[in-house]
Structures are given as structure tokens and as C-alpha cells.
Structure 1
């Protein structure tokens, strides 16, 4: 593996160690290429130091949203002495982590032995972040606060969503056009929920059972994509009971094409940032079931923006089928869903209007940085 995609969480330390072992080769590559600029992400804090030693400016690209970065940066900087200035964003006790605790895996060359936030310190003048350019109604205030915390200009790149929803048929997506698209097209507009938990999260057997229970309770059309490597134990007789309104798929599915389909009215998601961006880009409200990392913060952001709803949990912080059903009904069957779709559609239009402008702004900022360094 060379990315975290499809990588079990227990093997991430091995991936990071492999990255670190490549640092000497990377130094040689820099020396040979003599680039004008280096862009690095979360897992390579050693890369900007090597670049700086060769006079090459570096820019950190934060691929999560500004909201979780600002929340955790605030917690890292101030602890619990000062509350986060935006109370809509919070973590209950069962989700809290100690951001001041040392990273257990060996990370070399992180600034001040600080892996998560040293990346900001090492970035030259600006930080790129995957978010909206003028996201006043979405992430605007969190982008501004992150800039204050890291003392760098935070430059949004736009959503960076690949819209291939209208592409012609290709061999890899034959199943979509032969099975999925005809099935979706037989459903009414906004009547179907899409359920997918991305390429980096593994659902437990208990979570799968509770989602299945919720789908039976709410009686909504659904398309459920389950990973091939997950232990799938659906309730006995589930497939027969839902066969008229449900389609369960195992393996890869073209998420963007599904979200763009007019019959899809909600997206049951773990709220990984790329999935949130894709859902809102296509104007689909999010039914949030966050699991870990930045996902709970993303879920609260979506709810604050009125573009979705978070699934409730029991007293132990576990998802239960009744709450899954209740959240799906709010988005697909009740009046509240119309409001969420309106807000999601408005945000979608803003994203698409700003895409080119955001990329141009990023290019201008990077060009200015290169020219300053050359002079």
C-alpha cells in the first residue's frame, strides 16, 4: 500500500514508517529535480525540512476541513481552559481524545516533536485547505479562526470533486450502467438513500446489524454499498424482506454517479471529508454516522449548516436501529428534508460557481511564493 485507502487501521503505523524510510531517496529526488515548490500532506513532516535545506519553499495541504483542524488546534493550544468559540462544534465524552498526548508511532522530523500541528509551522506563509472559497455559510468562520491559530494565511482550494457523473460507459463501471442506474431510475425523485462508509473505514458486525434494522424500520428505498472485506452478517431473511425497495452491493461503486442521480435524496455516511464534499457538491443531504478522527466534527458542521442530520446514539455512544430509521425519515420522508435539500442545493451551486476561482487563487498564491523565493 502507498496510501491509507483500503488499509486496515492497525497497519497505518507501518505505512508511516515506510514513508519515513523513503526520506533519503526523497532528498536525492529533490536534488535531481530542483523543484520551485513542494506541497506536502499530513504524513510527511520530514519533507519540508529536506526541501528547506535545498532552498525550496514548502506548502502544507490539509485535506480535511477547516472545522476539525481549528477545533483540535484550539484544544491543543489552550486545552480545556478556554472553550472553543463556536459551541455548535463539540465532542461528547465518548468521542474525546487527548490531542496533547505524544503520537505513539515513531514520527521523525515533526516540528517540536509535534506531528499533528507541526505541519502548519513548517508551511511557508500559507496553508492550503480543501474547503470553499467564500464559505461564509459553511466553513468561513472556521477558516478564519484556523488562520489565527496557525498564524498563516489559509487558502481554500475548493471542493476538488471529480464530477464524472455524465461520463460515458467504461469497463470498470459497467455494473453501474447495467444494474445500478436502471434500478435507481425506477425510483421516484429523492426517494432513495445511499449508504456507504468509504474506503478507509471497516464497519463492525454490530453496526451492520443496526443499520439493517433501521432500514427495515423506516421502509425507505435504499442502495447500500458494503466492502468486500467486511464481515457481512445481515439479519436472517433481510434480503427477502427488502428486495422490492433495497439493493445491497459488495465492492467498489461509483459514488459520484450515484449521488448525482435524481432519485437519491440522502446519503448515510461516516462523514469522511471527501464524502461530505461529494454529497454537498451534488446537493444531497447527509445522514451522519461518524465513527472517528475528524468525522464527528464534520457531522456537527453539516448539521449546523442545515444540510443534514446526525444519527442519535444510546447512552453508551452506540448507534441503534431506531435512531438510524428516525434520521433517514427526517431527510427523506418529512418536511424537514425539503429544507435540508434546499440548503444542500444552495451550497452545491456555490461550490460549482467557486471551483475555478478557488483554483486560480491557489495558483496565484503559489506563483507569488515561488517568485518571492527566487528573488
Structure 2
């Protein structure tokens, strides 16, 4: 090795790790990826976060204190026939167009290859030999489930990859490996409604609601991108993934981490649950939107303590007109105070609904600072789709749940939590087509008006004590950094 090579090698060994972090184009993915990036940057690692221009603009800005360690790089999303102009995330398209968004996402392979090649060239140049951080060749690419096309790029530059799963660990246990599914094919919703045979202990890892099973069965079938989500994950996991990192921990999902390490023949590493911090709550505002939410916040300030149920089903929920009607009439029937983050793209509310509930309910069709609302003294419950992020946000404030999972992995996380009942699920019809207003009202009343709600809140408080142990959660991140250093 020449003198320049020796200097570069010495610099690389003493420099902080450089991670390129690249999530799928859904805010339920981008936000946890960015949160992980911030927490690793606070530990001195150099993190390059990759997305598209519109998504980068919509995500929260990098705090000035982290700018030396965290940067955001945008790649232009290619146009695809049938995909609306300006659509860069799943929040911009209806569910039936997500396959086209994946096709456009696949078109990022070439610009991403150029980004990596430039980083590697910069790191190998004599001028950068003693540089640190972003000037160095990446030590890792941390990717999502969808980039089955990354492995040739990583292989060319000899960069190891890790997958960061934003789902419950139970989701990957349910998915299993390709060989498990070849031995036990799942082609119909009924196949997804029972525990997979490769989970050797009793568990709740199954999609027992038919409408959820139908959504999950679809991940095994090719979509408009030409490939199934399951095949994307299996190809990426097998070809280039040295580690699988989970937004979870053994306290949240007992028994699953050893099983996952065995199923995929590589370490399954806990990153912790990334529960919101006090700083996250304080910063969960936007000057661009604050004015639009001000009337709702003023209303909330006037309500009695723990009297309001906050209703939010995520920014990408596939809400039908029937869903919105039955949910609205169920809230009316329940007779409790509520604040509903409905969103501007949802179907219309029933005629006269807002007038009839004006004395005790507020519907927000625009942006809502969810963490600030959940933290408010007047909020005593959360009607949620049970996305993994929403579960941890609710636990941060020990709020009991009314659970209304609609698609994908929603609901599986609550089922996987260790024998701690923290909510009441809204009953669906036997055929899984919808739910009735009476079921909504019954679940809301149990949580907000009956003794059961107090018991659920106590259990949520207990679980927060376990999963909110900051020292333990910080230790998981430190252990993750150790894995990245040892396995690079």
C-alpha cells in the first residue's frame, strides 16, 4: 500500500462511520428512518439521508446542532405513465397507484448509483484522505424493504447493507423467508389468518381480521411495478443484507429476536422503539400550519381533563365513504368529546354531522400536531389505526386505545405486545367488509366512560414504564452502533 493509501486507511479507521440511509417513499417509513438518523448523528456518526425533493421539503428540517453529522440529499423521482405529476409519496396517491410509485422508485437506481460512486471517489481522493464524515466512502447503506435493486451497487463498491424494518418484528416473523413460503405457500386470505408454521411457540402473529388478511395476502402477488413486495424483501435480504435492524426491542416483542436471527440466518438487532422525547413534543409544530390549527387548540384548552378522545387514522389510511360515515355516526352515538384529524382528502362527512356535534366535537381537515394533541391534559384516549409509530406515541402519554386497524401491518403490533391489554378493538362485520357505528360507539364508551378505560390506562402506564426506560433504549442504540462497527 502506498503512502496515500496508508493515510486514507488510517483516516477511515479513526473516522466516525458514514451511513447512507434510504427509506421507501411513505411518511410512515421516512419519519422513523429520519428519527433513527438523528439519534445516530447525535452519537457522532455521519449520516446521509436520501429521499426525493418534495419529501425532503415536507420532512422536518435537520436541527442546526446536528448539521455537522446529518445531511439530506434529494434525488429526482423519474416520471412514470399513470403516476400523477408531483406524486412522490404514498400520501400523494390512492392505494391502487402505489405499485406505480414503486415503479418510479425503481428508477432511482441510476441516480443512487451515481451518488454512491461520487461518495466513494471523494473518499479515495488524496484531497479527502484525511477528511471525515460525508467526504468518506459510506461504511453502510441502510435501506428499506423495497430496494431489491441496490445490491449490485453495494457489491460494486464493497459497501455492506442493513435493512431497517419500521414494522413490528412480528411482521417479519409472519413474512418468513422465501424458503419457508415455498414449503408453506400462502395464496388466499385464509392462509394469512393463522400463525405461520415456522413460529414454534404460541403467539398472536397472524392477521385474524379478514380485511387485514386480504391486504397482507396481496404482498405476495406482483403489483404494477412488476414484482411483489415479498419478492423485493426476499431478494434484498438474501443478496446484500448483513443485518436486519428493527424498530422494536425484546421487551416489546418477547421471543421474536432469537427466532428472526434463526429464520434469516443473520443478526436481528434492536434499535429500540424510538419513542417520542420531550424535545419531539416541543418541536411538533409548524409555523406554516399553526394558524390553521389554532381554533382547534383553543377549543381543546376549554375541555375538562381526560375528557377528549383524539381520532386519527394516519395520513395514508384507505378510508372509504362507508368508513367515514360509520365512524362519524359512531362518534356521535358515543356521546363523548372528540377531536378528529380527518384530513382534506377523506370522503365527505354525513350531512349535518358537524352541526349536530358542534358542542362537543371538532373535525380538522388540515394539519394536526399529533404529539401536542396527545400530550394535552384534555386528551384521555386515542382512536387509532394502530400503526407501529402511533402505538409508541400513545404509550408516550399512557393513553388507552380504541383500535381500528385498516390495512397492512396495522394491529399486529398491539397483538405482539407482551400480554398487556391497552385498548379495545372496534368489531368488524363477519365478512370483513366494514364496521358499524354501534361498534365504534361501544368501543369509545368503554375507553372513555367506563371503568375499563381506567384499567387500560393503568396498563398503558405500566407498559410505558418498560418501553420508556430511556437508559435501556439508549443502550439498544449503542449496541446497534457496535454491530455496525463490527460487521462493516
> What TM-score results when the alignment is normalised by the length of structure 2?
0.68
CA distance 1:246–1:88, change in 2 (3 Å): same
Of residues 462, 468, 473, the one that matches 1:355 is 473
Shift of 1:208: 0.7
Q: Provide the C-alpha distance between the structure 1 equivalents of 2:463 and 2:183, rounded to a whole number of angstroms.
A: 32
CA distance 1:270–1:226, change in 2 (3 Å): same
Deviations 1:84-112 (A, max 9, x none): 5334333334443447844233457x99x
Of residues 443, 446, 465, the one that matches 1:330 is 446
Q: Which residue of structure 2 aligns with residue 96 of structure 1?
A: 213
Of residues 231, 236, 252, the one that matches 2:367 is 252
Q: Provide the C-alpha distance between the structure 2 equivalents of 1:292 and 1:7, rounded to a whole number of angstroms.
A: 16
- For this pair of structures, how many residues does the alignment match? 364
Q: Provide the C-alpha distance between the structure 2 equivalents of 1:78 and 1:296, rounded to a whole number of angstroms.
A: 27
CA RMSD for the aligned pairs? 2.7
Structure 1 alignment gaps of length 5 or more: 371-375
Shift of 1:175: 3.7
Q: Which residue of structure 1 aligns with residue 435 of structure 2?
A: 319
Shift of 1:77: 6.1
Q: Which residue of structure 1 aligns with residue 483 of structure 2?
A: 365
Which shows bigger deviation, 123-132 or 305-314? Answer: 123-132
Of residues 301, 321, 344, the one that matches 2:416 is 301
Of residues 50, 74, 86, the one that matches 2:153 is 50
CA distance 1:362–1:3, change in 2 (3 Å): farther
CA distance 1:293–1:169, change in 2 (3 Å): closer
What's the secondary structure of 1:171's corresponding residue? coil
| Maintained 8 Å contact 2:318/2:406 | no
| Maintained 8 Å contact 1:299/1:310 | no
| Maintained 8 Å contact 1:270/1:289 | yes
Residues 159-308 of structure 1 mapped to structure 2, 5 A cutoff: 159-163=273-277, 164-167=280-283, 170-175=286-291, 178-232=294-348, 234-301=349-416, 304-308=419-423
| Maintained 8 Å contact 1:194/1:222 | yes
After the TM superposition, which parts of structure 1 deviate over 6 Å for at least 4 consecutive aligned residues? none
What's the secondary structure of 2:398's corresponding residue? coil
Residues 55-204 of structure 1 mapped to structure 2, 5 A cutoff: 55-73=158-176, 76=181, 79=184, 82=197, 84=199, 85-92=201-208, 93-97=210-214, 98=217, 101-106=220-225, 114-132=231-249, 134-135=250-251, 138-163=252-277, 164-167=280-283, 170-175=286-291, 178-204=294-320
Q: Provide the C-alpha distance between the structure 2 equivalents of 1:303 and 1:183, rounded to a whole number of angstroms.
A: 37
> What TM-score results when the alignment is normalised by the length of structure 1?
0.87
Structure 2 alignment gaps of length 5 or more: 1-86, 121-137, 185-190
